[in-house]
Amino acid sequence: MKLKEEFLEKIRKQLSKEEYSKFLESYKDEKISSLRVNTLKISVEEFLKISPFKLKKIPWSEDGFYFENSERPSKHPYYHAGLFYIQEASAMSPVNELTPKKGDIVLDLCAAPGGKTLQIASKLQNTGVIITNDISTGRIKPLVKNIELAGIKNAYVINENQYKITDKYKKKFDKILIDAPCSGEGMFRKDESMYKNWSTDEVEKYSKLQSEIMDVIDESLKEGGELVYSTCTFSIEENENTINIFMKKHGDYNFIDIKQYEGFVISGGISRLWPHKIKGEGHFLAHVRKTSFHEHDIKEIEKNTNQLNLDNKPPEIFEKFMENNLNTKFVGTFEIINDRLYMLPKIKIDTSGIRVARSGWLLGDIKKKRFVPSQAFAMGLRKEDVKRTINLPSESVEVIKYLKCETIKASGEDGLNLILVDGYPIGWGKINKNTLKNMYPASWRMQ
Ligand SMILES: C[S@@+](CC[C@H](N)C(=O)[O-])C[C@H]1O[C@@H](n2cnc3c(N)ncnc32)[C@H](O)[C@@H]1O
């Protein structure tokens, strides 16, 4: 790869001579591949027992692992069971730093396609709530799919800009992640298209946008709340400058010391991940806490964290479905939106006037007098929740055929079955005399 002189000049200014030549050398390194185990579905220990891939721990992520470049995990049925997500190693550092805690209300403002939302969800373990947002309508679809595949039940997926969000949600969030749109310099090794579009004008354009986003989103963070700002770029304009402009303008924030890992270049609340110092791509993160305190904020916070009434009865049609098909009786707050039944997260979030793509766990469609369970429902279940299941071994031809939406032969009880791979749900099917009518969604078909 021939790097543009203007880009190299900017890097030269940031590094010593020796560091700079190591940085250039890193462009000749082999590509680095990594995944993160989805602990909503399987513990790291269990995954390591069944993993068909040779894995090596990523130091800064408790559930992140490198795999060998010869492997193709996204083609494995476990990927389709949502047991892991392919995520670049450095990209795991912002959520590791933010460390959402069970019960937190978290905003992931620039979320698509969802790698970091999934990581936040693993930390929350379906407690609290995640508002996961992206401004791009086109990128909402993959975000929704990744959330469904991962079995996340406590997220609202929304499609707004920072102004709309701040207008609606004042001092609402315990934690905010701004994984900002950027010039992507840290990803040049991985994605040449980012490099082709790079120019100093782009750097300037993004730095303005980042400052605008940060300036506005401040109002949405609770007093005492934490914010991580991250990019996958090297330019000072988009990193140190953005966070320093923000800190100057908003005097009520302090930096939080960043967790130290070998190779991270840390100065107080700011960290840089350089590709010649760690096994991963380029990244930047800053961690800050809002510190000011006013009497009226307490009332605001209390109002915001109202719990939903948990005894809300499910619609009769779903009661019947549970009786006939499930061992578990789900209780919670149910809502029907456009003939689709959802179970909402336990913390009440007012989404009126907001463009919402998903509200919590999509259970299924109500079609005339029938309840048709959704793929998202299947992906959020455990095998024990369902009366009839068909287990397909991960090495079988049948599981691949199922994931390719083909009809297969399978022995089991007639009726609706949850289809499993080695005990982990992958979708629905109906058995009739040893033939499985495939209900795997065409849009999820394995390629
Ligand atoms: C670096 S990517 C996010 C990657 C994502 N966090 C992940 O881990 O998969 C930046 C995202 O910001 C979105 N974006 C750009 N401007 C935005 C804005 N003003 N508000 C919200 N999202 C924005 C882009 O559409 C893009 O999907």
162 lines ligand 1 (CB under 6 A): yes
Q: Whose CA is nearest to atom 15 of ligand 1?
A: 181
Label residue 368 by pLDDT band (50, 70, 90).
confident
Query: Is any ligand 1 atom within 6 A of the Cβ of residue 137?
Result: no
Rounded to whole angstroms, the Cα distance separating 277 from 166 reads 38
Distance 298 CA to ligand 1 centre (A): 31
Supply the residue whose CA is at minimum distance from atom 27 of ligand 1. 112
pLDDT tier, 77 (very low <50, low <70, confident <90, very high otherwise): very high
The per-residue pLDDT for 348 is 83
CB of 364 closer than 6 A to ligand 1? Answer: no
Q: Which numbered atom of ligand 1 lies nearest the CA of 182?
A: 1
Q: Is the CB of 112 under 6 A from ligand 1?
A: yes
376 C-beta closer than 6 A to ligand 1: no
Residues contacting residue 371 through CB under 8 Å, at least 6 positions apart: 317, 318, 320, 321, 341, 364, 365
Q: How would residue 301 be classed by pLDDT, with cut points 50, 70 and 90?
A: very low
Q: Name the residue at shortest CA distance from atom 11 of ligand 1.
A: 110
Interface confidence (ipTM) of the complex? 0.99
Q: What does the alpha-carbon distance between residue 123 and residue 139 come to, in Å, rounded to a whole number?
A: 24
Query: Which 3 state secondary structure label does DSSP give 298?
Result: helix
Please report how the helices 115-124 and 137-149 are oriented relative to each other, as an axis angle in degrees rounded to 10: 40
User: Which ligand 1 atom is the nearest neighbour of the CA of 136?
Assistant: 25
Within a 13 Å sphere around the CA of 382, how many CA atoms are in the beta-carbon half? 9
The rounded Å distance from CA 103 to ligand 1 centre is 24
Q: What average pLDDT does this structure show over 8-26?
A: 96
* 111 Cα to the center of ligand 1, angstroms: 5
- For residue 197, what pLDDT band results from cuts at 50, 70 and 90? confident
pLDDT of 304 above 50:
no
In the structure, what pLDDT confidence band is assigned to residue 195 with cuts at 50, 70 and 90?
confident
Across the range 76-99, mean pLDDT stands at 98
pLDDT band for 28, please (50, 70, 90 cuts). very high
Residue pair 287/226 in contact by the 8 Å Cβ criterion = yes
pLDDT at 303: 44
Counting atoms of ligand 1 from 1, which one is nearest the CA of 231?
1
CA distance 49 to 423: 14
Binding site membership for S-adenosyl-L-methionine: which residues?
110-116, 134, 179
Please give the Cα distance from 96 to 268 (Å, whole number): 16
Nearest CA residue ID for atom 5, ligand 1: 111
Q: Is the minimum distance from the CB of 161 to ligand 1 under 6 angstroms?
A: yes
* DSSP per-residue codes, 372-438: EE-HHHHHT--GGGBS-EEEE-TT-HHHHHHHTT--EE--S-SEEEEEEETTEEEEEEEEETTEEEE
pLDDT-derived band at 297 (thresholds 50, 70, 90) equals low
H helix count then E strand count, the chain: 15, 23
Q: How far is the CA of 397 from the centre of ligand 1 (A)?
A: 38
Q: Which atom of ligand 1 is nearest to the CA of 143?
A: 9
Which of 122, 134, 161 should be mutated for ligand 1, with most atoms under 8 A from CB? Answer: 134
**pLDDT at residue 312, rounded to an integer:** 78
* Token pair listed for 174: 């315990």
CA of 48 to the centre of ligand 1 (A): 32
Name the residue of 87, 110, 281 to mutate for ligand 1: max ligand atoms within 8 A of Cβ: 110
Residues placed in the known binding site: 110-116, 134, 179
| Beta strand spans in 129-276 (E) | 129-133, 155-158, 173-179, 221-231, 253-255, 265-267, 270-273
DSSP 8-state assignment for residue 310: T
What is the reported pTM?
Answer: 0.95
Average pLDDT, the chain: 94
Does residue 293 register a pLDDT over 70?
Answer: no
Distance CA 267, CA 252 (A): 20
Q: How many whole angstroms separate alpha carbon 327 and alpha carbon 343?
A: 17
184 Cβ inside 6 Å of ligand 1: no
Residue nearest to atom 2 of ligand 1 (CA): 181
pLDDT in tens, 227-285: 999 999 999 999 999 999 999 999 999 999 999 999 999 998 999 999 999 999 999 99
Indicate whether residue 139 lines ligand 1 (CB < 6 A).
yes
The residues near 442 (Cβ < 8 Å, ≥ 6 apart) are: 405
Query: Which residues, 6 or more positions from 380, have their beta carbon under 8 angstroms from its beta carbon?
Result: 151, 152, 153, 361
Q: Among all residues, which ones are annotated catalytic?
A: 232
Rounding to the nearest 10 degrees, give the CA dihedral for residues 78, 79, 83, 89.
Answer: 130
Task: Provide mean pLDDT across the span 137-166.
Answer: 98
Question: What is the percent of the chain with per-residue pLDDT over 90, rounded to a whole number?
Answer: 91
Q: How far is the CA of 379 from the centre of ligand 1 (A)?
A: 25
Q: How many CA atoms lie within 13 A of 326 on its CB side?
A: 17
Burial 414-445 (b: 16+ CB within 10 A, else e): eebbbbbbbebbbbbbebeeeebebbbbeebe
